[in-house]
Amino acid sequence: MSNISSLVGVDWYFGLAFNETDVDLQIDNIPLAATWAQEILGDSLLGLSVGNEPDLYVDHNHREAGYTVADYVSEYDATLASIIANGSLLDSSMFLGPSLCCEVAGFEFSDLLSAGWLDDNVDRLSAVTVQHYPTNNCQVNGNVINAQDIFSDFLNHTSAQALVGAYLADSATVQDKGKEYVMLEMNTASCGGFAGLSDSFGAAMWMTDYALQMAYGNFSAALMHVGGQNVYYNPFTPPSSNLSSTHQWTPGSVYYPTLVIAEAFGKSNNSRVVDLTPLAEVDANYIYHPVYGIYEDDALARMVLFNFIDDSTGASDLDVVINVQNQGSPSEVYVRYLQADTVSEQYDIYWANQTLGGSYAADGRLSGDQTTYQITCDQTANTCTIPVFAPSIALVFFSNDVLEESNVAADATSTYATSVVGSGDATVDAGSLETSNGGTGSKGGGTSKGNQTSGAGRVAVGAGWAVACLGVVSLLL
């Protein structure tokens, strides 16, 4: 892990054992693992995770029937006390929890608050964590969900709003304690996702919307779950055997949102994300046309415009007219698109005209010439008109300086086709897969340490909207 960090700058959340035997006996391995994780990973360690989905412990036979929030709080407190007393920690305020997932009655975040979990551990926590999947493909008790029956649920803004909205009340509570809130595990559907949905361009659009909505709700981070060879929601899947030649990896559609989001957030770590999506009385199709503004030092730096409509004929394309009232329109803006011909497309997906390739055909590098469109604005009318094709996402940069932040640095390390042959196979036990990928919980919150305002109020600052005509949306900012 440390070697990986030294090569590509990866940071880690490190999980500590919390099974019943280890907790009851307070074995030495837990504080030992915590100590070595801190010493070896150093600044690359973000937190030590203690416990995982305690609201499912009884259902998954990890605890006896009758296990309560009080039992969990007692175990958590005792485990942390043992680690701190018996380890040689460099930092005793790096713990994570509770990673609730599944909205189990009597085991929700409000129940943990009432039991004193947050107050008792606030000085030992680096972040409060949750986990959530909007649905599942676990087929428990023969309950089989047809992916095509629910695909449309992922193709509008309502999904992201509802998912994050369920966290906002708890978000304010955690923010008041000065702690970050982290979505420690998420993806399209637990138990590996769905073929034709989780690996589609529609899922990529949904993931982008969800990520931006979490940022608006003051989440500090979100971790996309990655599984084995038989998992549909992977952002990437390695070859099933020896890497005997190049271009044998399989890219997943949900990898592309990581590129869009990285460029949308920028490098300053000072950006503010605001949901500027109009209300229904302004745009009858607003759920298919989400809009986000990204502000740097109170100035609009970027916008992200969606068109979820699955129509490649051009009839559903949008012209979004942006009127930046408070800072004036620039002479031109720059636009990059995340595009595919249809929401069901799996591989022919392009970010700024570049793609990773198809199944067993990728080596991790984008191919094609990067395309950034320069659009001239009307400074007399103080407007910029941005085409948003159906289906696509447009990332708009409001200055060349902002665009340059998204370009590859001149001193960046070049990546070439691999010449190394690997060996060995990775396998995942089916039972472990079924029980390790979270549930469909929707309880929690999202905060970022240091933020002065919470996303709980859902306030879009300085934004007004009007629809000029069918296919043209006018934004007053």
Most confident of 77-91, 98-112, 251-265, 315-329: 251-265
Q: For position 429, what pLDDT does the model report?
A: 46
Q: How far apart are CA 323 and CA 379, in angstroms?
A: 10
Average pLDDT in the 84-102 region? 92
Average pLDDT in the 360-372 region? 93
Q: For position 27, what pLDDT does the model report?
A: 64
**Predicted confidence band at 19 (pLDDT cuts at 50, 70, 90)?**
confident
Q: At what angle do helices 201-216 and 256-265 cross, to 10 degrees?
A: 30
Q: 41 and 14 in contact (C-beta within 8 Å)?
A: yes
Q: For position 219, what pLDDT does the model report?
A: 94
pTM, two decimal places: 0.86
Q: For position 326, what pLDDT does the model report?
A: 72
Q: For position 416, what pLDDT does the model report?
A: 58
Q: Is 403 helix (H, G, I), strand (E, B) or coil?
A: helix
Q: For position 470, what pLDDT does the model report?
A: 35
Does position 292 have pLDDT exceeding 50, yes or no? yes
Q: For position 92, what pLDDT does the model report?
A: 94
Strands 332-339 and 318-323: unpaired
Longest dimension (CA), the chain: 74
Given the candidates 3.40.50.150, 3.90.320.10, 3.20.20.70, 3.20.20.80, the CATH classification of the domain at 1-267 is: 3.20.20.80
Average pLDDT in the 18-31 region? 72
Tokens, residue 278: 């109009």
Average pLDDT in the 408-422 region? 60
If one looks up domain 292-406 in CATH, what number appears? Answer: 2.60.40.1180
Alpha carbon dihedral 248, 250, 251, 252, in 10-degree steps, equals: 180
Q: For position 13, what pLDDT does the model report?
A: 96
Task: DSSP for 441-475, please give it.
Answer: --------TT-SS-GGG---TT-EEEEEETTEEEE
Q: How far apart are CA 288 and CA 310, in angstroms?
A: 10
Tokens, residue 45: 């360690």
Q: Which residues pair with 318 in a beta bridge?
A: 388
Strands 318-323 and 299-307: unpaired
Q: How far apart are CA 477 and CA 441, in angstroms?
A: 35
Q: For position 476, what pLDDT does the model report?
A: 53
Q: Is 450 helix (H, G, I), strand (E, B) or coil?
A: coil
Backbone angles phi, psi at 165, to 5 degrees: -60, -30
Q: How far apart are CA 51 and CA 74, in angstroms?
A: 12
pLDDT tens-digit readout, 66-89: 999 999 999 999 999 999 998 789
Q: How far apart are CA 73 and CA 63, in angstroms?
A: 14
Domain residue ranges in the chain: 1-267, 292-406
Is the pLDDT higher at 21 or at 375? 375
**Predicted confidence band at 446 (pLDDT cuts at 50, 70, 90)?**
very low
Q: 192 and 153 in contact (C-beta within 8 Å)?
A: no
Q: Which H or E run contains 184?
A: strand 180-186
Q: For position 189, what pLDDT does the model report?
A: 98
Average pLDDT in the 215-235 region? 94
